[in-house]
Amino acid sequence: MTHIVGVSGSITQPSRTKALVEVIVAKASQKLHAPAEIIDIAQIATVLGSTTSYNQFPEALAVEYKKLLSADLIVIASPIYKASYTGLLKHFFDLLDPKSLAGKTAILAATGGSDQHALVLDFQLRTLASFFGIYTVPTAIYAKDTEFTDYQLTSDAIKARIDIAVDQAVYLLNRETSQALVA
Ligand SMILES: Cc1cc2nc3c(=O)[nH]c(=O)nc-3n(C[C@H](O)[C@H](O)[C@H](O)COP(=O)(O)O)c2cc1C
C-alpha cells in the first residue's frame, strides 16, 4: 500500500508550514486511500540540531527517519527563512544516505511572508530532491502568510493548486509502478 509522509521544516509552533503539510497529506491520503504521517522538524529541533553522526541516530531521530524511508510519497515543505528553506530541514536531509530516497515521489511546498521567494521551491528544494533521486511533481505550492487565518490555510486558490499537485503525484506513482526504469 502507498504510504504518505509529510515533512514540515518549520522550527516553531504553531506553524503555517505544518498546517499546509497537513492539508496536502490529507488530500493525498483521500485520493490514494493511503495512510499518512507527518515529521515535524519543530518537535525534533533540539535533538536534530545536536546530531552530527551519519550512522548513529538518537532514538527520537531514528523514529522519524524510519517514517521517511517507508514513504512512497513525501511532501517536503519549509517556511522561507532568509531567502532559503530552513537550516534544520537541510540538516535533516544532510544526515541521510544519498541513495536512501531514490525513486520516491515528492510534492514540494513552502510558506513565506512575501512574493519574493517563491522560486526557492524550484531552485533550492527541487534541486535537493533531485540530488536524492526523488521524482518531484511539476506543480509546487507556495502559500503566503496572508493565505492563512489563525495558522489554518484559508485560500481557495492554494487549495486548488494542492488538488493539481496531488493529481500529478497520483499520476507519477501509478507510472512508477507500471513502468520499469532503465538506468
Ligand atoms: C527567521 C525568519 C526569516 C524569514 N525570512 C523570510 C524571507 O526571506 N522571505 C519571506 O518571504 N519570508 C520570510 N520569513 C517569513 C516566513 O517565511 C513566514 O512567516 C512563514 O509563513 C513562517 O512559517 P511557519 O509559520 O511555518 O514558521 C521569515 C521568517 C523568519 C522567522
**In angstroms, what is the span from residue 173 Cα to ligand 1's centroid?**
31
Read off the pLDDT of residues 60-77 as tens digits, 9 standing for 90 and up: 999 999 999 999 999 999
Confidence check: pLDDT of 180 > 80: no
- Taking alpha carbons only, the member of 6, 143, 11 closest to residue 86 is 11
- Mean pLDDT value of segment 157-176: 95
Burial of 139 (0-12, 13-18, 19+ CB in 10 A): middle
- What per-residue confidence (pLDDT) applies to 179? 61
- Mean pLDDT value of segment 149-168: 98
Higher-scoring residue by pLDDT: 179, 172: 172
21, 39, 40, 80: residue to mutate for ligand 1 pocket, most atoms within 8 A of CB:
80
- Mean pLDDT value of segment 133-146: 98
- What per-residue confidence (pLDDT) applies to 22? 98
CA distances from 44 to 14, 65, 143, 145 (A): 14, 11, 24, 24
**In angstroms, what is the span from residue 157 Cα to ligand 1's centroid?**
20
Query: Residue 148 CA: which ligand 1 atom is closest?
Result: 21
The x, y and z cell numbers of residue 49, run together, are 540540531
- What per-residue confidence (pLDDT) applies to 175? 85
7, 78, 81: residue to mutate for ligand 1 pocket, most atoms within 8 A of CB:
81
Place of cell 498546517: 19
The x, y and z cell numbers of residue 69, run together, are 524511508
8 within ligand 1 shell (Cβ under 6 A): no
- What per-residue confidence (pLDDT) applies to 182? 53
Our measurement of the distance from residue 89's CA atom to the centroid of its chain's CA atoms, rounded to an integer in Å, reads: 10
**At a CB cut-off of 8 Å and minimum separation 6, what does 23 contact?**
153, 159, 162
Q: Which CATH number fits domain 4-178: 3.40.50.360, 3.90.79.10, 1.10.10.10, 3.40.1180.10?
A: 3.40.50.360
- Mean pLDDT value of segment 79-96: 98
* Helix or strand run (H / E) with residue 135: strand 135-136
Query: Residue 20 CA: which ligand 1 atom is closest?
Result: 26
What is the pTM (predicted TM-score) of this model?
0.96
b (16+ CB within 10 A) / e for 98-121: eeebeebbbbbbbbbeeeebbebb
145 within ligand 1 shell (Cβ under 6 A): yes
17 within ligand 1 shell (Cβ under 6 A): yes
Read off the pLDDT of residues 14-25 as tens digits, 9 standing for 90 and up: 999 999 999 999
Read off the pLDDT of residues 42-61 as tens digits, 9 standing for 90 and up: 999 999 999 999 989 999 99
